């Protein structure tokens, strides 16, 4: 069975240049049964290291759970040790990079984790396959390098799209920060036509309510709010209630 099953000539060239070859993947594949037993302790140790970084730990808590990420990461490492790269593998790695970009994971942390990963893999593999460790590690490092290239492509594509559609990305970020889900938007959509029609009335009532709270002596402050915050609020409401047009 061929270890590289990729249809794109460009991807095949990229793999060869990175050092991911049939022969090298076959070498790792021959030791897969031993390597697969190391997946759990390697990933557990990786996330122990990640959890020591406050910002990364908080990021995980906001967007996922530790156990869910461990499960995903174990599946990935199993794929590396099974040493088969096909079109589905490439698309999966690209999609993961894209997802990390969209939720705001800084690229430097993402790439730095690969370096930490290699250190931990070396530690565990050298204990069970001391003579083969360097050869295995060079192959895994080449796979990781290829995957990092896919990640960079995904981040670049996401940044281009973000520049082209800034309102959609800002809206997604705002919805995420406030815990609004796609299901919430679907439920809201059935009222969107009526609410959009009533935005002028909503803003007028908001304006009168604010004046009553601030008092008559705050004419300057109210005027400033009318020119800034009110306009932003009205745009936000309009965007929320017509969100399908930009999502």
**CATH number for 66:** 1.10.490.10
- Among 128, 143, 164, the domain boundary falls at 164
Whether residue 183 sits in one domain with residue 231: yes
Answer yes or no: do 17 and 68 share one domain.
Answer: yes
Domain endpoint, select from 164, 180, 211: 164
Stated pTM of the model = 0.67
Among residues 56, 54, 51, the alpha carbon closest in space to that of 109 is found at: 56
For residue 167, the model assigns a pLDDT of 52
> 144: domain range?
4-164
In this structure, are 129 and 200 located in the same domain? no
Query: Is the same domain home to 64 and 106?
Result: yes
pLDDT band at 187 (very low <50, low <70, confident <90, very high): low
Q: Using 50, 70 and 90 to split pLDDT, how confident is the model at 197?
A: very low
Report the number of distinct structural domains present in the chain: 2
Q: Do 146 and 24 share a structural domain?
A: yes
CB atoms within 10 A of CB 63: 15
Confidence of residue 109 (pLDDT cuts 50, 70, 90): confident
Residue 10 to residues 6, 13, 14, 17, Cα–Cα distance (Å):
10, 5, 6, 11
Tens digits of residue pLDDT in 19-69:
999 999 999 999 999 999 999 999 999 999 999 999 888 888 887 888 888
Inter-residue contact 138 to 210 (CB < 8 Å):
no
Closest CA to 36 of 5, 75, 72, 86: 75
């Amino acid at each position: 069975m061929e270890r590289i099953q990729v249809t794109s000539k460009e991807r095949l060239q990229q793999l060869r240049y990175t050092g991911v070859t049939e022969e090298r993947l076959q070498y790792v594949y021959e030791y897969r049964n031993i390597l697969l037993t190391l997946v759990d302790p390697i990933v557990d140790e990786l996330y122990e290291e990640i959890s020591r970084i406050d910002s990364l730990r908080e990021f995980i808590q906001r967007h996922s759970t530790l156990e869910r990420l461990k499960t995903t990461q174990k599946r990935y490492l199993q794929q590396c040790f099974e040493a088969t790269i096909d079109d589905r593998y490439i698309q999966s790695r690209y999609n993961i990079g894209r997802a990390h970009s969209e939720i705001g994971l800084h690229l430097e942390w993402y790439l730095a984790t690969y370096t930490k990963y290699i250190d931990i893999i070396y530690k565990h593999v050298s204990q069970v396959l001391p003579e083969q460790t360097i050869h295995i590690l060079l192959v895994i490092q080449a796979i990781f390098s290829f995957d990092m290239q896919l990640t960079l492509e995904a981040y670049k594509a996401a940044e281009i799209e973000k520049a082209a559609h800034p309102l959609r990305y800002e809206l997604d970020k705002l919805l995420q920060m406030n815990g609004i889900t796609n299901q919430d938007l679907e439920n809201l959509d059935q009222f969107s036509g009526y609410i959009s029609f009533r935005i002028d009335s909503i803003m007028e009532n908001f304006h009168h309510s604010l004046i009553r709270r601030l008092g008559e002596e705050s004419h300057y402050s109210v005027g400033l709010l009318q020119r800034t915050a009110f306009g932003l609020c009205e745009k936000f409401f309009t965007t929320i209630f017509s969100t399908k047009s930009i999502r």
